[in-house]
Amino acid sequence: MPTFVINKDHIVIHWNDALEMLTGYPADEVIGTKRQWTAFYSAERPVMADLIVDETGEEGIKRYYGDKWRRSPLIEGAYEAEDFFPDKGETGKWLFFTAAPIKGTEGGVTGSIETLWDTTESKQMQRERESRIHQLSTLLSISTALNTSLDIEDEESFRTVTDQIIANFDVDSVGIYLMEENSDLRVAYSHGYSESFYHKGGKVGPDSLMSAALKKGKTAFFEDVTIVNTPYKEFVLKEGLKSVAYIPLISKEGAFGVIRMSSHTSRRFSKEDKDLLKLIANRIAIAVENIRLHHQTKISEQRMELMVKEKTKELEESYRKLAISEERYRSTFDADPNPIFLMSRRSLRLLDVNATAVDCYGHARDEFLKMSFWDLGGRNDPEMIDGLKHISLDQLNFYPRRIHRRKGGDPFYVNIHFRLGRYLKRDILIATTTDVTESVERDVQLVQAGKMATLGTMAAGMAHEINQPLNVIQVCADYFLKMVKRGEKIGRMELNTMADEIRSNVQRAAGIIKHMRDFARQSEVVKNRLDINDPIRDVFKILGQQLRVHRIEPDLDLDDTLPPVLADHNRLEQVFINLVTNAMDALDNKDKVMNREWKRVLGIKSFSEDGKVVVTVSDNGTGIPKEIIDKIFDPFFTTKEIGKGTGLGMSISYGIVRDFGGAIEVKSEVGKGTTFTLRFPGAVQVAG
């Protein structure tokens, strides 16, 4: 992970390889200087780590990061932020960074460590999804407005349509111009322009661009308009427009009007807006043409029957186009690869679903329309309930790894996105779900694979642990047979003593086998209140004999007054087995190169610090080289010989600790040893 460290004088003392690759700044140009800002900003300013060292507090952080920062939920005294850096890479990068204080023995801040994560790809995927949802929401809003009683002579009808356009696009002025029988364009509706420029009922005047758009039947966009490049001086002189779009309204017989959309502030139209504006103009044209045809039909009731039939045919053709447009909307809706749900904002009662939702969940569409979104899962999810109560426009809420149920009750995991939209003149919620069951199951299988590898490594030691009680039972049985053959009587006290030995050793063997079975079972990510010392002690039920064979006497310093943590006993035991096994290997490797007697040290300590439950696992083995210490939590990374390590142990341990809200750190020095530090929130703190 890209990381750098500064001391209390703001001097960079560590700048790792991952950060070199991310920023393009080599370590030898930064370490020993105060120029850490050059890797991120064009002008000198403090980075997050500098603010931590200065202990400026939240006001200081807010001054430089606005509303883009927050307190770290995992590290005491740390802060997180996410920002866009346009000078990174070819098109800029989004970076998520966390800065935490480094404290001395007396509790004062002696430096700061800052880690960074490139979130550009996830941001891009999020923007694409938001764009799809925005297009869908806009189409719904405009379609709803068009399906109301649109009347060419009714200004309120046009206002409803233009309000939706202004609400969903980066424009602040809209005009609708329709061609009269004498081929002149008339202002049917105008919003956002001065009365002297365009007013309702008036002609468009000398605007040649309007006539050109009508004549050619092609959309025209004018962007970055200035007095120098303006195609029509009134843009700048009378209205001060920065961007303008002319979109013709076209029927079967040709163009009959123009929609003019413009902005006094925004200089450009996005590609998505350009495509969507054309589609919306097509729908408006169909709707207006329908109204015109209706009017013409009424006026021509007394005309010749042939003309009535012709106009009726045109009307049917117009309805056919409208049906095609509706079909395109439904096709776009149904073609989305993820389930989409439209629902009431307050009750979450389902109003519509796409075809993918029907296929994924197994309910028919009419069954969905009798259900609430809560019927699919999450009814007791306080985070989701609170988030949906306070969701606002342009906000996208994301809820990962929630359990939903298909028809029949089969559960599966989904990621859920929510956004506000408009449907039939009311606020609605639009939700999309993505099936991530395979990803969750892969994580569970990866953990299980790690357990199986651990059990294989421990097989010889476990066999010895089981053989010990079996040997005791064998000795007692041989003694009984010997006394029986001799015909000698066994004393009552002696018989009781040996029976107790047999019973206790049977219980010991049964306990070992039960412990192995419990450890080997596949476990889910569940959280129970437990004493963290229990899984630590259980490690030595499995590894005790192996440690003795390797001449290692563990030093346990466990605090029995610790608050409970929310975790799974089985999974935490796997973490500590991985750490103890790695320590044992490090001690063995060091023994191979030592030319004198030395004391092997394996220490495990549990204690409370800053409201956290902390466990340290230390050894005085070979240590971890500086150049690979940042890779030890990567999947499939191992320093062991081929066939002696899977490279999964530390990666799995890192994931397990993270799943339970904890953090794991490592400090090591070659030749002196390694210390892993695990921190977990107390159960009382999590519940609060």
Whether residue 543 is predicted with pLDDT greater than 60 in this model: the reply is yes
Question: Residues 427, 539: one domain?
Answer: no
Does the residue 70 lie in any domain? yes
Q: Of the ranges 4-18, 120-134, 140-154, 235-249, which one carries the lowest mean pLDDT score?
A: 140-154
Residue 613 or residue 503, greater confidence: 613
Angstrom distances, CA of residue 650 to CA of 142, 459, 576, 653: 54, 20, 10, 5
Question: Number of structural domains, the chain?
Answer: 4
- The residue ranking higher by pLDDT, 159 or 532, is 532
> What single letter denotes the amino acid at residue 322?
L
Task: Report yes or no: 126 and 396 within 8 Å, Cβ to Cβ.
Answer: yes
Residues 680 and 562 in one domain: yes
Q: How many CA atoms lie within 13 A of 314 on its CB side?
A: 20
Q: Using one digit for the tens of pLDDT, what is the confidence trace for 576-633?
A: 988 998 898 889 888 887 777 788 899 999 999 998 999 999 999 999 898 888 888 7
**Residue 604, burial from CB neighbour count under 10 angstroms (0-12, 13-18, 19+):** buried
**pLDDT-based confidence at residue 659 (cuts at 50, 70, 90):** confident
Is residue 479 domain-shared with residue 571, that is, in the same domain? yes
| One domain, residues 535 and 666 | yes
Same domain, 205 and 244: yes
Q: Is the pLDDT of residue 84 over 70?
A: yes
Above 90 in pLDDT, residue 229? no
At 230-271, the pLDDT tens digits run: 877 777 777 788 888 888 888 877 888 888 888 888 878 888
Q: What is the 3-state secondary structure (H, E, C) of 79-125?
A: EEEEEEECCCCCCCEEEEEEEEEEECCCCCEEEEEEEEEECHHHHHH
- pLDDT of 675: 95
Intra-chain end-to-end CA distance of the chain, in Å: 31
Q: What does the block give as tokens for 256?
A: 């009959």
User: pTM, whole model, 2 decimals?
Assistant: 0.38
Q: 23: which 2 tokens?
A: 């920023």
| Position 470, amino acid | L
Complete DSSP assignment for 230-246: -SSTHIIIII--SEEEE
User: What does the pLDDT average to over 413-432?
Assistant: 88
What average pLDDT does range 674-685 have in this prediction? 84
Q: Report helix, strand or coil for 683.
A: helix
Residues 27 and 104 in one domain: yes
Q: Do 162 and 303 sit in the same domain of this protein?
A: yes
576: in domain: yes
Contacts of 380 (CB under 8 A, 6+ apart): none
Cβ atoms of residues 256 and 247 within 8 Å:
no
Q: What is the pLDDT of residue 531?
A: 94
Q: Is the per-residue pLDDT at 283 higher than 60?
A: yes
Question: 482-503 as b/e, with b when 16 or more CB fall inside 10 Å?
Answer: eeeeeeeeeeeeeeeebeeebe
Long-range contact list for 314-321, CB < 8 A, 24+ apart? Answer: 314/252, 315/290, 317/252, 318/251, 318/252, 318/286, 318/289, 318/290, 318/293, 319/290, 321/286
pLDDT at 685: 42
Residue 137 forms part of a structural domain: no
Per-range mean pLDDT, top range of 83-92, 348-357, 511-520: 348-357
Range of the domain at 418: 337-434
Instruction: Give the end of a domain, one of 318, 334, 350.
Output: 334
Higher pLDDT, 140 or 322: 140
pLDDT of residue 34: 94
Return phi, psi of residue 487, to 5°: 75, 20
Compute the distance between CA of residue 233 and CA of residue 289 in angstroms, rounded to an integer: 32
What phi and psi values does residue 498 have, to the nearest 5 degrees?
-70, -35
Residues 303 and 346 both lie in one domain: no
Distance of CA 430 to the CA centre of its chain: 18
Tell me, yes or no, whether 452 and 525 share the same domain.
yes
Q: Is residue 36 part of a domain?
A: yes
In the predicted structure, residue 228 carries a pLDDT above the cut 80: yes
Residue 204 predicted with pLDDT over 50: yes
Structural domain contains residue 422: yes
State the Cα torsion 469-472-477-483 to the nearest 10°. Answer: -170
Give the span between the Cα atoms of 455 and 457, in whole angstroms. 5
pLDDT for position 524: 58
675 in any annotated domain: yes
Whether residue 136 is contained in a domain is answered as no
Could you report the per-residue pLDDT of 432-476, keeping only the tens digit for each?
Answer: 999 988 877 776 666 555 555 555 555 555 565 666 677 767 777
Final residue in a domain of this structure, among 384, 406, 434: 434
| pLDDT over threshold 70, residue 145 | no
Question: Hunting for tokens 């002025």 — which residue is that?
Answer: 173
Is it the case that residue 688 has pLDDT exceeding 50?
no
> Which amino acid appears at position 109 of this protein?
V
Within 13 Å and on the Cβ side, how many CA atoms surround 367? 11
Query: What angle (nearest 5°) sits at the alpha carbon of residue 54, between those of residues 48 and 60?
Result: 60
Length of the chain: 688
Give the CATH number of the domain where residue 399 resides.
Answer: 3.30.450.20
Read off the CATH number of the domain in which 239 is found: 3.30.450.40
Task: Read off the DSSP letter of residue 141.
Answer: H
pLDDT of the residue at 135: 67
- The pLDDT assigned to 181 comes to 75
pLDDT value at 372 more than 80: yes
Burial of residue 97 (CB within 10 Å: 0-12, 13-18, 19+) is buried
Of residues 631 and 206, more confidently modeled? 631
Sign of CA dihedral 282, 288, 294, 297: negative
Residue among 245, 248, 224, 279 nearest 172 (CA): 245
Residue that is last in its domain, among 416, 434, 452: 434
Residues 172 and 294 in one domain: yes
- Nearest-CA neighbor of 39 among 68, 64, 2, 9? 2
Tell me the average pLDDT across 59-69: 91
Range ranked top by mean pLDDT from 48-62, 153-167, 413-427: 48-62
The mean pLDDT of the chain is 81
Say if residue 307 is in the same domain as residue 347: no
pLDDT of residue 655: 79
E strand map for 252-396: 254-263, 340-344, 350-353
Percent of the chain with pLDDT over 90: 30
Q: Both 466 and 418 in a single domain?
A: no
Residue 418 lies in a domain: yes
DSSP states of 442-460: HHHHHHHHHHHHHHHHHHH
The pLDDT of residue 48 = 93
Q: Enter the tokens of residue 35.
A: 């120029």
Write out the two tokens for 468: 């010990």
Tokens at 156, concatenated: 């309120």
If you average pLDDT over residues 567-576, what whole number do you get? 85
**Structure-model confidence comparison of residues 532 and 423, the more confident one:** 532
Question: Bigger pLDDT: 285 or 520?
Answer: 285
- CA 567 to CA 531: how far, in whole Å? 9
| Choice among 42-56, 286-300, 434-448, 554-568 with the minimum mean pLDDT | 286-300
Structure tokens at 73: 């939920």
Task: Supply the Cα-derived Rg of the chain in whole angstroms.
Answer: 36
Tokens of 37: 């800002």
3-state secondary structure 554-597: CEEEECCCCCCEEECHHHHHHHHHHHHHHHHHHHHHHHHHCCCC
One-letter amino acid of 615: V
Phi, psi of 249 (to 5 degrees): -95, 120
